[in-house]
Amino acid sequence: MSGRTATRTPRTGVAIALLRLAGAALLAAIAVIHGYLWQQGYSGIDVIGPAFLVQAVLGVGGALLLLGAPPRLVPWAATLGALFAAGSLAALVVSTTVGLFGFVETTAATLWWESFWVEAAAAVVLVALVVLTTRRTGR
């Protein structure tokens, strides 16, 4: 064992707390958007409808996990959240370009751009949180 510990300063602690809050808020926003769209008619689309409901549930769960995780598990919670956001963003882009499970979306659709920016922001914020919480001294 090298005996290295994570670098923690008061400033780093504040940054981690702010990124946790921002990440949780963005994951919750992803959940709200998908839940709203599911209620507005996406529930009737094969495969996509159930996926939107799953996205809503996972977004809420991810937000709660990020807020409630003990410090040693924050990097893992943030990694899961970043993968979730990036996967959601990838599915949005694929559904708009070549289609996804036979469903083709358009950028003119309700909340398309909001989804795009919220999912992109969530991925960026959560990757930053992963990087900040996994920094080590002595490198």
Q: Residue 110 corresponds to which tokens in the numbers above?
A: 């309700």
Q: What is the pLDDT of residues 83-134, one digit of tens each?
A: 999 999 999 999 999 989 988 898 888 899 999 999 999 999 999 999 999 9
Give the SS3 label for residue 103: strand
Place of tokens 């036979």: 102
Average pLDDT over residues 66-70: 96
The reported pLDDT for the residue numbered 117 is 98
Residue 56 CA from chain centroid, whole number? 11
Cα–Cα distance, 103 to 18 (Å, whole number): 37
Q: What local confidence, expressed as pLDDT, does residue 63 receive?
A: 98
Q: Which amino acid is at 121?
A: A
| Contact indicator for 110, 37 with CB cutoff of 8 Å | yes
Residue 6 has pLDDT above 90, yes or no: no
* pTM listed for this prediction: 0.87
126: Cβ contacts below 8 Å, ≥ 6 apart: 19, 23, 26, 78, 79, 81, 82, 85
pLDDT of residue 2: 47
List, for residues 31-62, the tens digit of each pLDDT value.
999 999 999 998 999 999 999 999 999 999 99
CA angle 13/17/21 to nearest 5° reads 170
* pLDDT at res. 12: 84
Q: Residue 137: what pLDDT?
A: 39
pLDDT confidence band for 135 (50 / 70 / 90): confident
Residue 139 has pLDDT above 60, yes or no: no
Would you state the structure tokens that stand for residue 73, as one six-digit string?
């598990």
